[in-house]
């Protein structure tokens, strides 16, 4: 579950590791632990991106045990890509922390040099009929509005959406270019949003439910069948029940139809399911979300009306 943290101790970044782990809004201590852990096979680099992610803006570090730390950062255009080295993890941690916080002069302590890269190949325009182009952009915008997909996941969606048995009209590079354009439009749009949004209130409620021993999962699996089949794997010793919504629920919420929540007790009884439902409703109400539920454990909980404006992460 992706949390929303307003603590000043958290860095507004994501950190991707070589082994595929993704850490969202880490503390300085957590970033330091990730840097100190670098060096072994499968754990030699970290890639840091801001929240929300902006195309071609990142910092990264590479380290193998016994060697120096290789640092890079890029601020958009290829001519704003720089590299340097550091011999101690403490220097790396201080540098990456300063970058993450956007501190003035964060990069002054190391001798940075421009990194010369081969020019990127020009991406050819999409060769699509107008209705296909509109259909593709509409689908990508719908997934984007859901707010859970990363840029790379959206690019995969765009690349595969129009594929047929004998035709692949959108290349990987074209998909990335399309997604980057639509992503930046959404980032600009959300810059005008003020205060806490309904999806952030929802996340607060889910965090409270987790603390009450209820497994709460956002955008969990593709559909209800898969969600019900897999939610048991999310239980831990002491967990009493669950609540989740799947990707189709997210799509409906983003389209303005409210959000459907599925819930239950891990013991399978109606009594426990009803009790979990009541706790879910109480948690949602406590954060100011409107809820419709008649107490029947066989009926889903509806959060409606809902203004679905989920801020992008990346």
Q: Under a CB-based contact definition with an 8 Å cutoff, are residues 71 and 48 in contact?
A: no
Q: Where are the beta strands (DSSP E) in the chain?
A: 13-17, 22-24, 45-50, 57-63, 69-75, 81-86, 113-114, 214-217, 241-244, 259-265, 291-292, 301-303
Helix (H) or strand (E) holding 252: helix 247-254
- The reported pTM is 0.88
For residues 81 and 250, give the distance between their C-alpha atoms in angstroms, rounded to a whole number.
37
Strands of the sheet containing 214-217, edge to edge, are 214-217, 241-244, 259-265, 301-303, 291-292
Tens-binned pLDDT, residue by residue, of the chain (314 aa): 443 434 447 999 999 999 999 999 999 999 999 999 999 999 999 999 999 999 999 999 999 999 999 999 999 988 899 999 999 999 999 999 999 999 999 999 999 999 988 788 899 999 999 999 999 999 999 999 999 999 999 999 999 999 999 999 999 999 999 999 999 999 999 999 999 999 999 999 999 999 999 999 999 999 999 999 999 999 999 999 999 999 999 999 999 999 999 999 999 999 999 999 999 999 999 999 999 999 999 999 999 999 999 999 98
Helix (H) or strand (E) holding 186: helix 172-190
Domain ranges of the chain: 13-114, 130-190, 198-303
| Residue-wise DSSP of 141-185 | HHHHHH----HHHHHHHHHHTT-BTTB--S-HHHHHHHHHHHHHH
């Amino acid at each position: 579950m992706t949390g929303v943290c307003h603590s000043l101790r958290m860095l507004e970044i994501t950190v991707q590791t070589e082994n595929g782990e993704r850490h969202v809004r880490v503390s300085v201590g957590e970033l330091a632990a990730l840097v100190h852990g670098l060096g072994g096979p499968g754990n030699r680099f970290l890639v840091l991106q801001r929240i929300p992610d902006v195309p071609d803006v990142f910092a990264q570090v590479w380290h193998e045990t016994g060697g120096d730390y290789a640092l890079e950062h890029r601020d958009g255009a290829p001519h704003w890509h720089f590299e340097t080295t550091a011999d101690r993890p403490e220097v790396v941690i201080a540098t990456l922390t300063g970058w993450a916080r956007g501190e003035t002069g964060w990069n002054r302590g190391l001798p940075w040099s421009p990194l010369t890269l081969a020019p990127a190949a020009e991406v050819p325009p999409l060769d699509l009929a107008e209705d296909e182009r509109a259909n593709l952009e509409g689908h990508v915008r719908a997934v984007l509005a859901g707010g859970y997909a990363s840029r790379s996941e959206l690019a995969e969606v765009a690349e595969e959406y129009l594929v047929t048995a004998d035709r692949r009209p959108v290349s990987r590079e074209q998909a990335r270019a399309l997604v980057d354009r639509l992503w930046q439009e959404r980032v600009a749009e959300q810059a005008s949003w003020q205060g806490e949004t309904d999806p952030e209130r929802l996340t607060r409620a889910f965090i409270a439910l987790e603390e009450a021993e209820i497994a709460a999962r956002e955008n969990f699996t593709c559909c209800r069948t898969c969600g019900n089949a897999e939610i048991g794997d999310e239980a831990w010793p002491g967990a009493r029940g669950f609540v989740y919504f799947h990707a189709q629920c997210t799509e409906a919420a983003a389209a303005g139809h409210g959000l459907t929540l599925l819930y239950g007790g891990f013991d399978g009884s109606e009594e426990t399911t009803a009790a979990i439902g009541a706790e879910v409703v109480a948690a949602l109400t406590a954060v100011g979300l409107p809820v419709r539920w008649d107490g029947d454990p066989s009926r889903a909980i509806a959060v409606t009306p809902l203004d679905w404006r989920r801020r992008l992460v990346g």
